[in-house]
Structure 1
Amino acid sequence: MAVSPPVCDFGAAWHDFALPTGDGQVVTLANVAGARGTLVMFICNHCPYVRAILDRILRDAHDLMDQGIGVVAISANDAETYPQDGPAEMARLASDAGFRFPYLYDSTQQIARAYGAECTPDFFGYNSAGQLQYRGRLDASGRNPAPDDARRELYEAMVMIAETGAGPRDQVASMGCSIKWKADQE
C-alpha cells in the first residue's frame, strides 16, 4: 500500500542511533553526520518504489557526499516477515549496487519510530546543527523512469541546506511502501 509521510517539521531535531550494517559493523549518527548537513534515508530492498529509483538515490547520495553532506540509509522492515529486507540481503545489495554510505538495520524499529518514518523511501534532510530542513521526495517521477531533465528535488534541497542552513519552504512528500512494522508494534 502506498503511503505519503507528512510534510517537513522544520527545525525538528535528529535522533541519535547506533545501528549495525548488514555485516554487523555498528555505525552511529556521529560517524555519518556531515559538516554541511546530513541525509537520513529510510529504504529497504524489496520495495518497488525504492527499486525503481535506486540508481538516482545512489547518484544523488554520492554527489552529496562529495560536497561534505553525510548520508546514511536505514531499513526498519520486519525481516521475519520480509526476509529480503534482512541484514544479509542488505549487505548484498549495498555491495552489488556500490553504496558509498552505510546501510543500517533497525531491528527494533525504535529509530524509525523516533524519526517518524512512514514509508520507503522516506528522506530526512538535516542542516549542520541537526535541524530538519527537508522531508520531501527524490524527484517528481515516483516509481517511473525519470526524464533526463527531471529536477533533482532532494539533491537541490540538500545543497541549499548546506549553503544556507535552511531548506526550501515548498516540498512535496515522498511516496512509497509502508514500513513493515512488527506485529507487536503496530
Structure 2
Amino acid sequence: MANTPSNMMPLGTTAPNFTLKDTISGKTMALDQLKGDKATVIFFICNHCPFVIHVNKQLVQLAKDYKALGVNCIAISSNDILNYPQDAPDKMKQVALQEGYIFPYLYDDTQSVARAYDAACTPDFYVFDNKLSLEYRGQLDDSRPGNNVPVTGQDIRHALDCILNNTENLNLQKPSIGCNIKWFKE
C-alpha cells in the first residue's frame, strides 16, 4: 500500500466542470446537473484501493445523512484500467451496487478530470459550497486501514456543517492519504 497524500487544491478554487459517464446508470452526466443545492462533495476513489475499501460504508452513510439537507455526493474513478482491470467501468458498477452507493460513480476515461482537480490519491475529497467554491479538501477523518481509529467522516461532516450553518471552518484541513491514482503510462 502506497501512502500518497492529497495535493490540497487552494481553497476558493471553483470546481472544474466535467461531463462523464455514470457507470451505474450508463448516462452521461455533467457537474451542473449533479451538484447539490447547498453543497457538493466530490471524491476520487477506485474499486481495489484498501484505503477506499476501508471507508466505503462511511461514504454511503455520509451521502444518506446529508442528501435531504441539499448536499450531493459524486464519486469519480480515474485509474488506468488497462493495467488495473479491476477498476474498469463494469466492475465499478458491481462495486457501487454491492456497496449501496446512492451517488453516481463516474469514470474519467481520459484522466483529465483528476488532473483538473489535482487529485493524487484514492480517496481524495473536495467539498464545494452552493456556488461550487472549494471550502474543504483533504481527508475524510483520521482513520486508516490498521490504525484502529473508527471511521466517522468527522472532517468532512464538520466542513459540511460549517457550510450548512454559514460558519467558518477553522479546523485544520489535513491531506487525505491513500493509494496513488494509477496514471496512464506515457
* TM score, norm. by length of structure 2: 0.92
Aligned counterpart for 2:47 among listed residues 45, 55, 58: 45
Which string of whole-angstrom CA distances, capped at 9 and with x for unpartnered residues, describes residues 40-64 of structure 1? 1000000000001111121112212
Root-mean-square deviation (CA), in Å?
A: 1.7
Q: CA deviation at 1:146?
A: 4.0
Q: CA deviation at 1:2?
A: 1.3
Q: Distance in 1 between matches of 2:133 and 2:32?
A: 14
| C-alpha spacing 1:82/1:174, structure 2 compared with 1 (3 Å) | same
Alignment partner, residue 134 of structure 1: 136
Whether 1:147 and 2:150 are equivalent positions in the alignment is: yes
| C-alpha spacing 1:166/1:72, structure 2 compared with 1 (3 Å) | farther
Structure 1 unaligned runs (5+)?
none
Sequence identity, in percent?
36
Q: Distance in 2 between matches of 1:94 and 1:133?
A: 27
Letter in 1 for 2:11: F
Q: Distance in 1 between matches of 2:169 and 2:109?
A: 30
Greater Cα offset, 30-39 or 17-26: 17-26
- How many residue pairs get aligned? The number is 183
Alignment partner, residue 184 of structure 2: 182
Letter in 2 for 1:19: L
Say which SS state the counterpart of residue 183 (structure 1) adopts. coil
Q: Post-superposition, which runs of at least 4 consecutive aligned residues in structure 1 deviate over 6 A? A: none
Q: CA deviation at 1:168?
A: 3.8
Say which SS state the counterpart of residue 135 (structure 1) adopts. strand
Structure 2 unaligned runs (5+)?
none
Letter in 1 for 2:140: L
Alignment partner, residue 3 of structure 1: 4
| C-alpha spacing 1:114/1:166, structure 2 compared with 1 (3 Å) | farther
Q: Distance in 1 between matches of 2:140 and 2:134?
A: 16
Alignment partner, residue 97 of structure 2: 95
Q: Distance in 2 between matches of 1:167 and 1:60?
A: 18
* TM score, norm. by length of structure 1: 0.92
Contact 1:8 1:136 in 2 (8 A): no
